[in-house]
Amino acid sequence: MAILLKQVFVGLPKTLGSNEAVNPMEREWTSAIFKDPVEGPIWVGKTGLTGDGQSDLEHHGGPEKAVFAYPLENYFYWQKELGNSEISAGGMGENLVFEHITEETIAIGDTFQIGEAVIQVSQPRQPCWKPARRFKVKNLALLLQNTGKTGWYFRVLQEGSVEAGQSCTLLNRPYPQWTIQKVNQVIHGRQQNFPEMAALSECHLLAPGMRDTLVKRIEKQDPGAPDIRSRVYGPNE
């Protein structure tokens, strides 16, 4: 079945909430997670789509995280699992919504032609507290991480315009063993599997920042999982 670019979304940072709120989930926060659907062609450049932006440039954006993608199939899962129909396409802050491909079937280095653009899978997204704040589900980032339904990033090899409804042509698959699901398991496993980490760190098409993180964890040789509370809960606690 053909991989389909189902929808395209872009958006700029917005500030919501109130500093006077007692509930942390209602306090002021700034994010570009709220994106609007795009009708017609849109340009995909080396650092992202025209009209798109990020509020946290330390953890989002840049050439290795130029385009964020999320599978349509995941939304059906979350709607059923959490009983929330508002968790729908565009809800995770993605730029591209794909149909007929998921974290279990897409891999690091997979290279696709979509319209005029050529994009390549660079890394999984590491879920943070902002989707949880948006949907008022405090442990949502942890659920995303534990299920492996994180979505993934693309780097842009060839700039060009894309449009919702286009089919995606797989041009190259150099690392079929390193699916996004598998990479998530290696990175987020409760017990650190150092041989697998070492093998993954040698995958030269994995984003350099993630490779460096793996090398540092291997050098540290700490058998326990890293502390993730600040990332997955953040100011929501």
What CATH architecture does domain 3-236 belong to?
Beta Barrel (2.40)
User: What is the number of other CB atoms lying within 10 angstroms of the CB of residue 127?
Assistant: 25
- The confidence band for 225, taking pLDDT boundaries of 50, 70 and 90, is low
- Classify burial at 144, counting beta carbons within 10 Å of its beta carbon; exposed 0-12, middle 13-18, buried 19 or more: buried
DSSP string computed for 204-222: TTS-HHHHHHHHHHHHHT-
pLDDT at residue number 16 = 96
- The whole-number average pLDDT for the span 72-81 is 98
- The whole-number average pLDDT for the span 17-24 is 94
Pairing state between β 96-99 and 67-71:
parallel
How far apart (Å, rounded) are the C-alpha atoms in residues 224 and 19?
A: 36
Q: What is the pLDDT of residues 168-197, one digit of tens each?
A: 999 999 999 999 999 999 999 877 899 999
- The confidence band for 12, taking pLDDT boundaries of 50, 70 and 90, is very high
Q: Give the pair of three-digit tokens for residue 11.
A: 């958006």
Do residues 119 and 44 make contact, with C-beta atoms less than 8 angstroms apart?
yes
Q: Can you name the residues that pair with 208 across neighbouring β-strands?
A: none
What are the extents of the domains in the chain? 3-236
pTM of the model: 0.96
Q: What is the pLDDT of residues 159-170, one digit of tens each?
A: 999 999 999 999
Do residues 187 and 217 make contact, with C-beta atoms less than 8 angstroms apart?
no
pLDDT at residue number 224 = 62
